[in-house]
Amino acid sequence: MLYDRFIVALDPPRGAGVGWALRVASALCGFAWGFKLGLPFLAGFGVEGFRLVRRACPGASIVADLKLADIGFSMRLTVERVGPYVDAVIAHSFVGVEGGLGELAEWARESGVRLALVYTMSHGGSAEVLAPCRGRLAEVIRRVRPWGVVAPATRPGEVEEARRLFPWARILSPGVGAQGARPGSALCAGADYEIVGRSVAHSPRPLEALLEAAREASRCHPR
């Protein structure tokens, strides 16, 4: 079963408290490879929320998906706050290296936190700027050589491309479930992990939903 190839995004539904996130994390603990905590989570529950999820399931990898896209100084100030509670942070490759990702990568090395960079995204708008500019994005990713690269399950061709261009990297693929990609779409195309959100985390029975997704993905034989 491939449930350990899934990362579950804990984007809180409207009105949910941190207890919601802790219940979902506990239900999936020992199954999901990790949890993705994004800006909606940070805005809702603060850095303290990160600490609580870490404590609710210490074995899971915690990915801070803050979609960092700022100058190096500001990105560092941000990640220093969540660093103690996370295994990886996601930033956008389009901010470039000089005075930007260079400083963030240095912080990641010093602090032992893994860095993942976005190549392209899962929504329609990704085709407007990111996709046509991805030659330059790939150049930034090659220079930074991050632990992970984010490419969308909704476009398996871009996952295959990322797999080929960045052979050293873990490929993380969002867009599974509510955003339209079938579980396994990205794993079949060479991704290492699929990121699933609402269809598991907002389900009344998150573990059953995760196992069902893993069953569907088991048609693939990922590396």
Residues facing 170 on adjacent strands: 148
Other CB atoms within 10 Å distance of the CB of residue 19: 10
**From candidates 39, 109, 205, 219, binder to a second copy by CB under 8 A:** 39
Nearest CB to a second copy, comparing residues 2 and 54:
54
Kindly state whether residue 14 participates in binding a second copy, applying the rule CB under 8 A: yes
Residues facing 63 on adjacent strands: 36, 88
Is 36 annotated as catalytic?
no
**From candidates 24, 37, 86, 140, binder to a second copy by CB under 8 A:** 140
Would you state the structure tokens that stand for residue 195, as one six-digit string? 């990121």
Q: Closest approach of Cβ 156 to a second copy, in Å?
A: 18
x-marked contacts with a second copy along 176-195 as a string, rule CB under 8 A = ---x----------------
Kindly state whether residue 125 participates in binding a second copy, applying the rule CB under 8 A: yes
> Is-contact 194 153, C-beta < 8 A?
yes
User: Which DSSP category does 99 fall into?
Assistant: I
Q: Closest approach of Cβ 182 to a second copy, in Å?
A: 18
CA distances from 36 to 3, 10, 67, 161, 221 (A): 15, 6, 11, 23, 24
CA 27 – CA 186 distance, rounded (Å) = 24
CA 100 – CA 93 distance, rounded (Å) = 9
**From candidates 34, 44, 146, 190, binder to a second copy by CB under 8 A:** 44
Q: Phi first, then psi: give them for residue 11, nearest 5 degrees.
A: -85, 115
Q: Closest approach of Cβ 37 to a second copy, in Å?
A: 11
**From candidates 136, 142, 145, 219, binder to a second copy by CB under 8 A:** 136
Catalytic residue among 67, 114, 198, 215: 67
Residues facing 64 on adjacent strands: 37, 89
Among all residues, which ones are annotated catalytic? 67
Q: Residues in the site for a second copy, rule: CB under 8 A? A: 11-12, 14, 38-40, 42-44, 46-47, 66-75, 77-78, 80-82, 92-102, 121-130, 132-133, 136-137, 139-140, 179
